[in-house]
């Protein structure tokens, strides 16, 4: 196994894309030790051909359609009118808009790239520091992979065998917890720095904004309602989300037929890159499993750590470090099968561990050197990558607090799915 991991990290050091790192390492291992190359290729093909993974592509498509169809503008406008009058109002609206948009796209990068430009400009125009605006936009984008539908959740379920429906519902309360903790920080920072409030426009103005944005706000309810009632599977719900997004865009006339080729191109680029990572990780994971690494790791871990709470702390630190240097979806596909025997030994619920795992990896997207959200924010703001990283530090601490709450309060994750399903 030393050869496998030396090749993997060696390729990463020379900046080879992580998918190719896994695939090339697997091929070199199979050639040296006589593993069948046919089996490596077969595992890679199987990795991207699952029915569940169709949901991933369709949720990406739905998010792109909503971004192009003006949905993000209406969501942010409604959130601003709803909560903008509180100290730090636009910061709160930023977080609330991320909660709503998370129920449509399930992607941190889509949140930062789609809503981010609107939120940052609105906050700058109203007297907020650009560093603060960018930081809260990045931190709130972490809500996207937690609140359903979640692309990371689909990948976790494929790697662990957990129910996608239960995973979606399990993310609701932890996502709300993350939003509340961030809003508390926004309130404290706004009072200290004397940021302006947005005057309350009255209930008539709020009602008008609600009516305009109601079709967009209905999207998460349609997705979750279909899954909970058993009308559709999560994969079928993703198709419904796409059709509903198209219907919204064409009825409001914000979406044109000429926009569709560009949307499809963006979707195919994103979806194929994710599926290729999953395929290569499946081949890489086959070798790890064949060598019984998960069982051996569990035995070593149990010989050193015997307390469940210490085990969760160690796993959290490990996942945070991995999230800093590895692409999030690749990290999930590689690490989840390895860690499942460890969490089973401590009696940790796979649903609870899934949310903890996704939150850890997502926080890693806010840290260099592989912070995809940081790169997205640098594209929609005038700040350099270094200044964004520095501005993000207080919000990283806030997200760590939310992570500890989610980690050491399992009912926050497990109560709702066990109640409903």
> 269-315: per-residue pLDDT in tens?
877 877 787 788 778 777 777 777 766 777 777 777 888 888 888 88
Could you tell me if 343 and 377 are in contact, meaning their C-beta atoms sit under 8 angstroms apart? no
Q: CA-to-CA distance for 2 and 6, rounded, in angstroms?
A: 6
How far is CA 154 from each of CA 23, 107, 115, rounded to the nearest angstrom? 22, 11, 23
Q: Is residue 192's pLDDT more than 80?
A: yes
- Any domain includes 248: yes
Domain that holds residue 336: 36-420
Which of 207-216, 293-302, 323-332, 403-412 is the most confident on average? 403-412
% of the chain beyond a pLDDT of 70: 92
- Tokens 């998918």: give the residue: 19
Query: Which pLDDT tens digit goes with each residue over 398-421?
Result: 999 999 999 999 999 999 988 887
Specify the range with the lowest mean pLDDT, choosing from 25-29, 110-114, 302-306, 344-348.
110-114
Could you tell me if 358 and 150 are in contact, meaning their C-beta atoms sit under 8 angstroms apart? yes
How far is CA 260 from each of CA 183, 201, 263, rounded to the nearest angstrom? 36, 36, 5
Specify the range with the lowest mean pLDDT, choosing from 348-357, 366-375, 405-414.
366-375
- Any domain includes 379: yes
The count of structural domains within the chain is: 1
- Any domain includes 3: no
Q: CA-to-CA distance for 192 and 129, rounded, in angstroms?
A: 13
- Any domain includes 319: yes
| Beta-carbon count within 10 A of 123 CB | 24
DSSP H helical ranges for 258-307: 260-290, 293-304
> How high does pLDDT run on average in the chain?
81
Q: CA-to-CA distance for 77 and 419, rounded, in angstroms?
A: 34
| Beta-carbon count within 10 A of 266 CB | 16
- Any domain includes 383: yes
* Structural tokens at position 228: 């909970």
Q: CA-to-CA distance for 417 and 54, rounded, in angstroms?
A: 23
* Half-sphere exposure for 68 (CA within 13 Å, toward CB): 24
- Tokens 């790192």: give the residue: 21
Q: CA-to-CA distance for 143 and 171, rounded, in angstroms?
A: 9
Q: CA-to-CA distance for 6 and 119, rounded, in angstroms?
A: 43
Please list the helix, strand and coil fractions of the chain in percent, rounded to the nearest 5, in that order: 80, 0, 20
Q: CA-to-CA distance for 227 and 418, rounded, in angstroms?
A: 14
Q: What angle do CA 282, 284, 286 make, to 5 degrees?
A: 70
- Average pLDDT rounded to a whole number, residues 2-19: 80
Q: CA-to-CA distance for 217 and 352, rounded, in angstroms?
A: 27
- Any domain includes 9: no
* Structural tokens at position 107: 């992607």
Query: Which pLDDT tens digit goes with each residue over 137-151?
Result: 888 888 878 888 777
Predicted structure pTM score: 0.78
| Beta-carbon count within 10 A of 269 CB | 11
CB-based burial of residue 407 (10 Å sphere; 0-12 exposed, 13-18 middle, 19+ buried)? buried
Could you tell me if 238 and 62 are in contact, meaning their C-beta atoms sit under 8 angstroms apart? yes
Q: Is residue 109's pLDDT more than 70?
A: no
- Average pLDDT rounded to a whole number, residues 234-245: 83
- Average pLDDT rounded to a whole number, residues 2-28: 82
- Any domain includes 169: yes
- Any domain includes 30: no
- Average pLDDT rounded to a whole number, residues 13-42: 81
What is the distance of C-alpha 238 from the center of its chain? 16
| Farthest CA pair distance, the chain | 73
| Torsional sign, CA 193, 382, 104, 397 | negative
């Amino acid at each position: 196994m030393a050869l496998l991991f030396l090749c993997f990290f060696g390729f990463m050091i020379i900046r080879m894309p992580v998918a190719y790192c896994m695939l090339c390492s697997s091929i070199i291992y199979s050639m040296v030790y006589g593993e069948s190359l046919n089996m490596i290729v077969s595992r890679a093909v199987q990795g991207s051909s699952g029915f569940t993974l169709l949901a991933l592509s369709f949720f990406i498509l739905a998010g792109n359609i909503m971004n192009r169809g003006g949905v993000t503008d209406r969501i942010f406008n409604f959130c601003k009118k709803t909560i903008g009058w509180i100290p730090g109002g636009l910061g709160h609206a930023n977080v609330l808009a991320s909660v709503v948009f998370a129920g449509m796209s399930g992607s941190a990068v889509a949140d930062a790239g789609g809503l981010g430009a609107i939120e940052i400009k609105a906050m700058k125009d109203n007297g907020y520091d650009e560093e603060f605006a960018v930081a809260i936009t990045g931190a709130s984008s972490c809500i996207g992979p937690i609140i359903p539908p979640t692309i990371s959740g689909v990948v976790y379920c494929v790697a662990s065998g957990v129910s996608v429906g239960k995973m979606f519902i399990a993310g609701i309360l932890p996502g709300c917890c993350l939003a509340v903790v961030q809003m508390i920080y926004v309130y404290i920072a706004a009072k200290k720095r004397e940021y302006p409030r947005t005057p309350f426009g009255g209930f008539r103005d709020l009602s008008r904004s609600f009516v305009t944005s109601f079709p967009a706000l209905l999207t998460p309810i349609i997705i979750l309602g279909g899954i909970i009632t058993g009308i559709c599977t999560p994969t079928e719900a993703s198709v419904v989300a796409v059709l509903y997004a198209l219907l919204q865009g064409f009825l409001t006339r914000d979406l044109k037929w000429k926009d569709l080729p560009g949307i499809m191109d963006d979707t195919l680029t994103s979806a194929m890159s994710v599926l290729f990572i999953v395929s290569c990780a499946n081949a890489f994971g086959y070798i790890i499993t064949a060598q019984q690494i998960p069982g051996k790791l569990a035995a070593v871990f149990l010989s050193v750590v015997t307390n469940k709470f210490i085990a969760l702390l160690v796993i959290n630190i490990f996942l945070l470090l991995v999230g800093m240097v590895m692409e999030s979806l690749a990290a999930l596909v590689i690490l989840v099968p390895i860690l499942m025997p460890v969490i089973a030994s401590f009696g940790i619920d796979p649903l609870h561990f899934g949310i903890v795992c996704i939150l850890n990896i997502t926080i890693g997207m806010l840290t260099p050197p592989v912070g995809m959200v940081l790169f997205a924010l640098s594209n929609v703001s005038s700040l350099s990558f270094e200044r964004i990283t520095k501005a993000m530090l207080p919000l990283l601490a806030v997200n760590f607090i939310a992570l500890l709450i989610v980690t050491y309060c399992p009912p926050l994750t497990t109560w709702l799915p066990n109640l409903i399903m």
